[in-house]
Amino acid sequence: MTEYTVFGSSPVPATPSPESARIVKRMSGNRKLQDRTRPQGLSLRLNRLAIQVFGNAWRSPKGAREARYGGVSGRYVSTSDSAPGADAARGVLLWLHGGAFVAGTPRMDQHLVAGFGAAAGIPAFVPRYRRAPEHPFPAAADDVLAAYRGLLAAGFAAPSIRLAGMSAGGALAAGLLGDLAREGLPMPGTVLLLSPVLDLTTATIRRTDAVTRDPFISPDFVERTNLVYAGGTPFTHPRLDVLGADMRSWPPTLVQTGGLECVSGDAELLGSRMRAAGAPCEVQLWPGQIHGFQFFKTPEGEAATAYATRFVAAPPVT
């Protein structure tokens, strides 16, 4: 089957750049740290504190403020304050942050989000969904669905909503699509998934990691946080088994993941199942890259972000 591409050619290089190789070497100790991290007690508090410090180290982008949609609070980045000619009438970017369901925050992603929104000339909303273990499934999924409903109620037409999710936020984004299909709600115009965690059983992750060991993400850590998020609900539940969903009505989707990531198998599986269902999905595996490589100022990070920004700014015609 011919691979779906957004713009007719892929920006993915054949080999990793020296800059990205240095990043991988510098960050390779993260897996050992995750092996010791538990989603509870002091370990969880320290993990959340580290992410909070990272997020607070950056000044809020111009135009970022608190907002609520559907009763869910979050960060709203108004690109009209930072991008001349930006207009909310063109749509909105609904961005679901990562953090393994237990530790992420809207502030952590807001600079990356601001860049996407500013380039596309649309505002962005990053909901502060409830996190496990204090609020297990379906709390986060319910919050994401409520935020989407809130955007519709605020006057954003569904096709003008661009949905995006990173890491665990990718699972929530895919889960939202399943919810919309089951409830008969209109789909967003496009979907961007960055290093999504999709097979919550971690079976796919472990198979991928056995072939290419992920130097950054620990499959054991992913399994622990997924179990805490599920809170005893079987992973076969329709709202958790996103790869088993009926994808026939899903909108055009772009997935980017690093070639060293243990979640890259999840991305490939999603792509094959979406295309088998007749839904357009481009999957990019960037060689030599680790989880969240778009955050880094490397040739790959900048090229991937530029391509994804074009996707957000100019939704493809199916």
Per annotation, catalytic residue among 97, 195, 218, 291: 291
> According to the model, what pLDDT value does residue 9 have?
75
> According to the model, what pLDDT value does residue 150 have?
97
> According to the model, what pLDDT value does residue 246 have?
97
> According to the model, what pLDDT value does residue 53 have?
73
> According to the model, what pLDDT value does residue 318 have?
43
155: left (phi over 0), alpha (psi -120 to 50) or beta: left
In this structure, what DSSP letter does residue 72 have? E
User: For residue 245, which amino acid is it?
Assistant: A
| Torsion angle in degrees (nearest 10) through CA of 128, 132, 137, 141 | 20
Domains in the chain, please, with CATH?
18-313 (3.40.50.1820)
Ranges of the chain whose pLDDT falls below 70: 1-8, 54-60, 79-88, 315-318
Task: Report the distance separating Cα 186 and Cα 183, nearest Å.
Answer: 9
97 catalytic per annotation:
no
b/e map 2-38, b = 16+ CB within 10 Å: eebebeeeebbeeebbeebeebbeebeebbeebeebe
Task: Report the distance separating Cα 205 and Cα 199, nearest Å.
Answer: 8
Q: Are 72 and 128 in contact (CB under 8 A)?
A: yes
Q: Are 122 and 272 in contact (CB under 8 A)?
A: no
167 catalytic per annotation:
yes
Tally the C-alpha atoms within 13 A of residue 144's C-alpha that lie toward its C-beta.
Answer: 30
Per annotation, catalytic residue among 20, 218, 261, 300: 261
Q: Which ranges of the chain does DSSP label H, i.e. alpha helix?
A: 18-27, 30-36, 41-56, 106-120, 139-153, 168-183, 203-211, 219-230, 264-276, 299-313
261 catalytic per annotation:
yes
> According to the model, what pLDDT value does residue 201 have?
98
Tokens of residue 54, six digits:
């990272």
Per annotation, catalytic residue among 20, 167, 195, 218: 167
Tokens of residue 3, six digits:
């691979």
Task: Report the distance separating Cα 241 and Cα 227, nearest Å.
Answer: 13
Q: Are 198 and 270 in contact (CB under 8 A)?
A: yes
Tally the C-alpha atoms within 13 A of residue 317's C-alpha that lie toward its C-beta.
Answer: 0
Task: Report the distance separating Cα 175 and Cα 198, nearest Å.
Answer: 9
Q: Are 123 and 114 in contact (CB under 8 A)?
A: no
User: For residue 153, which amino acid is it?
Assistant: A
> Which residues are 5's β-sheet partners?
none
